[in-house]
Structure 1
Amino acid sequence: MRSKGFTLIELLIVISLLALTSSIVVPKLWGQYTSFNTQHSIQTFWGNTLKQVRKENSKTKSFFVEENLSWLKAQAEEQDLRIKSHTPIVFRADGFVSSGHIDLLTDSNDVWRLEVKMPYGEVEIKKI
């Protein structure tokens, strides 16, 4: 008479395969999750920066976003970011934007680049 069910070896093989696949999949998913959170923080930082630029731009004809602006550093610190390096970005009253970038350092010491492109200020965020 044949018994119904799994042998101990079959169960051990299935459990070891599950452990192996989860050890590969879980770290990748966690990396994507932290990357998404960082990108969201950078997008929030840039959105707040644009609000401040529009406010300042209404007072002058051109506005320079430079590294030494205290409110820019405060915007970055609100999102747990630090400005590592920067090239000035010019916003003119007619809507033209010069290209430039802001390199941001995260708490995990990853460097992300927020790159602004001419002529209308399109933004690209990437890990470098």
Structure 2
Amino acid sequence: MDELTQLEQRARRARARGDALRSTTPGQAARAYGECAELLLARCLLVAAREEAARSPLRALALLRRVEELAGTLRAAWPVAAAAYLALGEEEIASSFLARTLAERARRAPPLAPASLLATA
């Protein structure tokens, strides 16, 4: 499941929390609805940052900063940040974001089968 889908699911859960609290505690319901709106906005801004990374890297980085303010640190933002920093000529910073991305992908990958299991008799 990609991070955009996770943002959508977090937004749905926040909305469901708001629906459940609406009749008993309207203040908490309003906060839950606000969280839902922020998560959906973060998703839209992340998509926009992806599109802006190559042609307007400073704008993409500004959008990513706003995404982080709304939804916290997202792994899906790392490759976008790397592309933006590459476009700005900041290879060292870009390589840091790419290393994080690759490490996370390796951590989430299923373990490889031992060679002894792959050998045929």
State the TM-score, normalizing by the size of structure 1: 0.33
Higher strand share: 1
State the TM-score, normalizing by the size of structure 2: 0.35
Compare CA radii of gyration and give the structure with the larger one.
Answer: 1
Query: Does 1 or 2 have the higher relative contact order (CA < 8 Å, sep 6+)?
Result: 2
